[in-house]
Structure 1
Amino acid sequence: MFLMINDFDYFDLEIKVFPLVSDGGFFSPNKPLEWSTNNIADELVAIVIIFGGILVAFSKTKDEDEYISKIRMESLIWATYVNYGVLILAILFVFDLSFFNVLIYNMFTVLLFFIVRFHYVLYKSKKVIEDE
């Protein structure tokens, strides 16, 4: 995310790719369904963030039971609501290329919101049990 925020290309991984969709229309040098060269660093970073987030979010806890499954489900629902709430606010108040950046970050925030809320509620519930 740091690289995306600062618009900095850290890796130089230019390889031939086969794009299904092109963004430039008829006059673009990268035609759809034709081999072209692209830096795939941002795609690799996004895939690593998504897989890492899924592993952290959905790996079993040490004492997985029905209560933790309930917390997990409620946290996922809450994260989805918050994520779409942020997206609606962005649709209303963010414009142009900044909106595109918000959409990119929005791909990852549902996992981030879920992980933060799940572990917070889990911590809070364990603290209540320890206090009793």
Structure 2
Amino acid sequence: MKPHFLFPTWMRWLGLCLFFVHLPVMHIWDMYHIHSAPSDTGMFSSGHLFFILTIVLMVSGLFLIAFARERIEDEQIYQLRLSSLRWAIFANYAILVICLVFTTNKADYKDMLRLNLWVPLVLFIIIFRYKIFRLNRSLKPEQ
């Protein structure tokens, strides 16, 4: 089997930590409207840097979860991974086209681009984990 560029298995746990650290931080950020001070202007304002840092934490966490090696990585897992990625991309673009058709506000386009950062990874993780679950369930001997 050809070697594939995947992260070690333990990186999935690091990715989960990064992702779950991001959730309460962004919730607090939105709840208390902690944005940059009026004197902060430009690209390196404190609010902008905080926003970029949390987005990078979330996306890198999802990336580590999605592309961490399984304990047993063989051709079947590789095919499941490839199929899941294909369906995640198809679903992501279907959602994106539907959102583009029904969007009327210009501010919504920015939100769609932000969602497009993490939705393909989340869809891939969900589809891949579901396929792994089905595979493990079919391999278990009936009791």
Q: Same fold (TM over 0.5)?
A: yes
For each residue in 1:43-87, what CA deviation from the matched residue of structure 2 results, as whole angstroms up to 9, or x when unmatched? 011101111111100101111111001000110111011000000
Q: Distance in 2 between matches of 1:122 and 1:36?
A: 43
Give RMSD over aligned pairs: 2.8
Answer 1 or 2: higher relative contact order, Cα 8 Å, separation at least 6. Answer: 2
Cα distance, 1:105 vs structure 2: 1.2
Q: Give the aligned partner of residue 81 of structure 1.
A: 90
CA contact (8 A) 2:81 2:128 kept: yes
- Percent identity at matched positions? 24
1:63 and 2:65 are equivalent in the alignment? no
C-alpha deviation, 1:101, in angstroms: 1.4
Does structure 2 conserve the Cα–Cα contact (< 8 Å) formed by 1:83 and 1:109? yes
Contact 1:11 / 1:41 at 8 angstroms: preserved in 2? no
CA contact (8 A) 1:76 1:114 kept: yes
The counterpart of 2:119, out of the listed 109, 114, 121, is: 109
| Greater strand fraction, Structure 1 or Structure 2 | 1
Residue identity in the other structure for 2:66: A
Distance 2:36 2:73 in 1: 41
Specify the alignment match of 2:45 in structure 1: 37
Contact conserved, 1:83 with 1:110, CA < 8 A, in 2? yes
Following the alignment from structure 1 to structure 2, what is the Cα–Cα distance between the partners of residues 8 and 42? 14
- 8 Å contact kept, 1:79–1:113: yes
More helix, by proportion: 2
Shift of 1:7: 3.9
- TM-score w.r.t. length of structure 2: 0.68
Whether the 8 Å CA contact 2:36–2:45 is kept in 1: the answer is no
After superposition, the C-alpha distances for 1:15-52 in whole angstroms (9 at most, x for unaligned) are xxxxxxxxxxxxxx64xxxx753421110111011111
Question: Once superposed, which parts of structure 1, at least 4 consecutive aligned residues long, lie more than 2 Å away?
Answer: 1-4, 6-14, 35-38
Per-residue CA deviation, residues 102-122 of structure 1 (Å, 9 max, x unaligned), is 221121100000000000001
Instruction: From the superposition, tell whether residues 129 and 105 of structure 1 become closer, same or farther in structure 2 (CA, over 3 Å).
Output: same
- Number of residue pairs the alignment of both structures matches: 114
Correspondent of 1:50 among 42, 54, 59: 59
- Normalising by structure 1, what TM-score? 0.73
Deviates more, 1:93-102 or 1:116-125: 93-102
Cα pair 1:13 1:41 within 8 Å, conserved: no
**Residue in 2 aligned with 1:127?**
137
